[in-house]
């Protein structure tokens, strides 16, 4: 009789729920690890954006570094703008919808760096944006940003129509015949020019720094599912024991 009772225990269900509990536990631990990584990243980025500016790493150095090591790095570069190599990229900012003013800057060493000079309101034309670029030597302090290939989530870039929805550096360089440029661009915080342009300059310093941090909520969800799976084993075992009594 005891052997028959034991055979009727819900071994299959128990094994399934135990496997699920182990999986949920592993996912919860992984989310906790991700949370610690994200908090470390946020701390490092917050320290970078207010640190003293450094020299922009060389292309070789950037190629050897992980993007987390240099994104939002505060740098300083000097050179001259190439106003003809300017593009207006759609933007939604704290000041409203408008454009990011992307202009190519060429350093004394011949490096070509795309610079996001800041925000211009909707209705600004390309000629006005180009005229806002200072002539002669300029010095720029800003944050290193990553290229945004192809376009936005909803719209692709259309270079032939001057419709830009993301800051795709390779596409911008190709459209302006600029040749090879740096693999990163700079969001301007400060721009110092010997001969400022006569037109109204773009508004700098509007970089949005936001990292989603939902890992704790996800971890608690996985741990709760783990606990429910274990509780399910207990209930199934208990009910089976009563029915066999």
Is residue 210, in this structure, part of any structural domain at all?
A: no
Contact 176, 84 (CB under 8 A): yes
pTM to 2 decimals?
0.74
Query: Rounded to an integer, what distance in angstroms lies between the CA atom of residue 130 and that of residue 87?
Result: 8
pLDDT, tens digit, 9 for 90 and up, residues 64-95: 888 888 888 999 999 999 999 999 999 988 88
Is residue 39, in this structure, part of any structural domain at all?
A: no
Parent domain of 119 = 73-195
pLDDT of 12 higher than 90:
no
Is residue 56, in this structure, part of any structural domain at all?
A: no
CB atoms within 10 A of CB 194: 10
Is residue 148, in this structure, part of any structural domain at all?
A: yes
For 145, residues 6+ apart whose C-beta sits below 8 A from its C-beta are: 71, 72, 116, 167, 184, 185, 186, 187, 207
Quote the number of domains for the chain.
1
Is residue 92, in this structure, part of any structural domain at all?
A: yes
pLDDT of 38 higher than 90:
no
Q: What pLDDT score was predicted for residue 1?
A: 47
Average pLDDT over every residue of 105-132: 94
Is residue 1, in this structure, part of any structural domain at all?
A: no
Is residue 33, in this structure, part of any structural domain at all?
A: no
- 108: domain CATH number is 2.40.50
pLDDT of 36 higher than 90:
no
Is residue 17, in this structure, part of any structural domain at all?
A: no
């Amino acid at each position: 009789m005891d052997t028959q009772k034991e055979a009727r225990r819900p071994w299959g269900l128990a094994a399934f729920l135990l496997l699920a509990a182990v999986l949920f536990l592993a996912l919860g631990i992984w989310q906790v690890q991700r949370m610690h990584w994200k908090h470390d990243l946020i701390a490092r980025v917050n320290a970078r954006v207010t640190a003293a500016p450094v020299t922009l790493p060389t292309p070789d150095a950037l190629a050897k570094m992980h993007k987390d090591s240099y994104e939002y790095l505060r740098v300083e570069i000097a050179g001259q703008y190439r106003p003809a190599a300017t593009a207006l990229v759609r933007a939604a900012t704290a000041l409203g919808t408008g454009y990011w003013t992307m202009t190519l800057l060429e350093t004394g060493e011949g490096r070509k760096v795309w610079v996001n000079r800041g925000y211009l309101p909707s209705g600004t034309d390309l000629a006005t944006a180009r005229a806002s670029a200072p002539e002669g030597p300029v010095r720029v302090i800003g944050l290193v940003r990553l290229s945004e290939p192809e376009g936005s989530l909803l719209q692709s870039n259309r270079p032939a129509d001057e419709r830009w929805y993301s800051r795709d550096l390779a596409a911008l360089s190709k459209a302006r015949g600029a040749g090879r440029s740096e693999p990163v661009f700079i969001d301007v915080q400060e721009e110092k020019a010997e001969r400022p342009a006569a037109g109204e300059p773009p508004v700098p310093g509007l970089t949005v720094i936001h990292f989603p941090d939902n890992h704790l909520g996800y971890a608690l969800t996985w741990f709760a599912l783990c606990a429910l799976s274990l509780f399910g084993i207990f209930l199934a075992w208990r009910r089976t024991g009563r029915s066999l009594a």
